[in-house]
Amino acid sequence: MKVKHSWSIKASSLSLNSVNVIRNIVENMVITPNPDKKMIPLSIGDPTTFKNLNPCKEIIDAMEKSLKSNNYNGYLPSTGTDEAKKAIANYCAMNGEEHISPQDIYLTSGCSSALDMAISLLAEPGQNILIPRPGFPLYQTLAKGLGIRTKFYNLIHDRNFEIDLNHLESQIDENTVAIVYCNPSNPCGSLFRKQHILDLLSIAEKYRLPIIADEIYEHMVFPGQEFISVGSLSYQVPILSCRGTTKRFLVPGYRLGWVIIQDRQDIFGPKIRLGLNNLCTRILGANSVVQGALPEILMNVPASFHAHTIDVISTNAELAYNRIKQMPGLKPIKPQASMYMMIEIELSNFPEIDSDLKFVEMLVSDQSVMALPGKCFDLDNFIRIVLTVAKPNLMEALNRMHEFCVKHYKGRKQVLKSIYDNYPKEAEDVKYKISKNQTNRRKSEQQKELISKYFDEMDL
């Protein structure tokens, strides 16, 4: 080999193309919080951030027992222990998926690792997968790093972010190898009806496309709603279901997820299982201590624990929805599940603001409230907020958002109309006081002062 006279070390295409979309967007924004107001981040998709939602005693006890046993300090089988797989299969059966066996389950390092394996398993460089818009940007990150193309299919925001099935079908071409599907949804907080899932399966069957199902928010649905897994309805279409402990059990840091093969007609065949097995060997197995605790976690965590989590999130969702729909220039989409809410910005009513990025930058600068711009999810003119916030923090954030919208909204007439619509008695008092002014010249300033005082007194 010829001796080189200078260093020439290059980063791989995989490393350079594996770009975290959210981080890339946020890091390029001009974000300077108001120094007089404590920062309230409504942007972080970690349910433990605000310390009001924590794992229950049964989870901690199971982890302590696993650790103290000294049985889980070393390497375990790459695809997971038999005990952990059996526990997951039993857990699925209790939730109506009796057809899943332990042999169908592969343990991974969190649900993100499960998604990585599923995409890597089914797609080659140059081929494409279909992903939702708006959708979780990790799908793009994982695919692009591998040289796999992504094509978007639209979700319809004024129909609770249902899939635009016609648009999805139009995106399928000869290089499409899988449909990525997320239910319940991040970032939308939506939940698909049974018939809608069946309609999606019909398209998948028509074009012989497997589905990669991101179901990390399984069963995190609000009162009156029901989670239906796509695998439970699929008798012809093969499914790779990606799930884990992260969200429902409030332990994102434990990094335990799994891929479930749901393929009643054995369409995948032995090579897909071999490929998934091989991919598991790349990480030498998922977290061993958590695997040791998993059977007791899935068996012993009480229903009341999950019910409390849902109560906190759904109560916050109702509170946030009712408050935000009163804010001039914002239109919230009421969520049904997961832990997020999408909010449409009527940019035409904010003369100083030309994008969702600018809206978030100014909201942070004015009020020290951080949301994620819709651009992070390939949806312009929206923001996403999280609903796992402690109630006092959420109330404070909503008050600040209302103040921000009133300050930057284009017309006071519309603001006054909103006041009349929602607080008629108080609005009449303001109107009476304004009418008592002596001159028209003073009327405008007096009006501004009274409106400002009104909002302060109403704690808006």
pLDDT-derived band at 2, boundaries 50, 70, 90:
confident
* Cα distance from N-terminal residue to C-terminal residue, the chain: 73
Residue 283 domain-assigned? Answer: yes
State whether residue 3 is helix, strand or coil. coil
Please give the Cα distance from 134 to 333 (Å, whole number).
Answer: 13
Q: Indicate the residue among 300, 333, 365 that finishes a domain.
A: 300
**105 and 120 inside one domain:** yes
Residue 5 domain-assigned? Answer: no
Give yes or no for a contact between 290 and 63, defined as CB atoms under 8 angstroms apart.
yes
Extended strands (E) in 184-284: 211-214, 239-244, 257-262
Give yes or no for a contact between 194 and 188, defined as CB atoms under 8 angstroms apart.
no
Please give the Cα distance from 427 to 194 (Å, whole number).
Answer: 45
Residue 7 domain-assigned? Answer: no
**324 and 431 inside one domain:** no
Give yes or no for a contact between 256 and 216, defined as CB atoms under 8 angstroms apart.
no
The one-character DSSP state at 42 is -
**174 and 204 inside one domain:** yes
**99 and 244 inside one domain:** yes
**282 and 424 inside one domain:** no
The model's pLDDT over 117-134, given as tens digits with 9 standing for 90+, comes to 999 999 999 999 999 999
The model's pLDDT over 6-49, given as tens digits with 9 standing for 90+, comes to 888 999 999 998 988 888 888 888 888 999 999 999 999 999 99
Residue 3 domain-assigned? Answer: no
pTM of the predicted structure, to 2 decimals: 0.88
Residue 234 domain-assigned? Answer: yes
Amino acid 443: pLDDT? 43
The model's pLDDT over 185-220, given as tens digits with 9 standing for 90+, comes to 999 999 999 999 999 999 999 999 999 999 999 999
Give yes or no for a contact between 340 and 187, defined as CB atoms under 8 angstroms apart.
yes
What's the total number of domains in the chain? 3
**127 and 26 inside one domain:** no
Residue 4 domain-assigned? Answer: no
Reference 68, options 343, 283, 288, 289; nearest CA is: 289
Q: In 3-state terms, the chain is what percent helix, strand and coil (to 5)?
A: 45, 15, 40
**369 and 228 inside one domain:** no
**237 and 198 inside one domain:** yes
CATH number of the structural domain spanning residue 340: 3.90.1150.10
**342 and 431 inside one domain:** no
Q: Indicate the residue among 300, 330, 364 that finishes a domain.
A: 300
Region of poorest pLDDT, from 14-18, 221-225, 264-268, 386-390 = 14-18
H or E stretch covering 451: helix 440-457
The model's pLDDT over 273-318, given as tens digits with 9 standing for 90+, comes to 999 999 999 989 999 999 999 999 999 999 999 999 999 999 999 9
Please give the Cα distance from 201 to 217 (Å, whole number).
Answer: 20
The answer on pLDDT for 253 being more than 80 is yes
Please give the Cα distance from 6 to 317 (Å, whole number).
Answer: 59
Mean pLDDT of the chain: 91
The answer on pLDDT for 263 being more than 90 is yes
The answer on pLDDT for 328 being more than 90 is yes
Q: Indicate the residue among 362, 388, 406 that finishes a domain.
A: 406
**310 and 238 inside one domain:** no
The model's pLDDT over 156-188, given as tens digits with 9 standing for 90+, comes to 999 999 999 999 999 999 999 999 999 999 999
Please give the Cα distance from 411 to 418 (Å, whole number).
Answer: 11
**269 and 331 inside one domain:** no
Residue 6 domain-assigned? Answer: no
Please give the Cα distance from 159 to 354 (Å, whole number).
Answer: 26
Amino acid 453: pLDDT? 47
CATH number of the structural domain spanning residue 291: 3.40.640.10
H or E stretch covering 182: strand 176-182
Reference 329, options 409, 411, 423, 419; nearest CA is: 409
Please give the Cα distance from 310 to 317 (Å, whole number).
Answer: 10
Structural domain boundaries enclosing 262? 57-300
Reference 335, options 321, 325, 345; nearest CA is: 321
Both tokens assigned to 122: 């089914």
List strands edge to edge, sheet with 340-345.
Answer: 330-333, 340-345, 382-386, 372-373
What is the number of other CB atoms lying within 10 angstroms of the CB of residue 287?
21
Cα three-residue angle 113-295-85, rounded to 5 degrees: 50
Residue 217 domain-assigned? Answer: yes
**285 and 315 inside one domain:** no
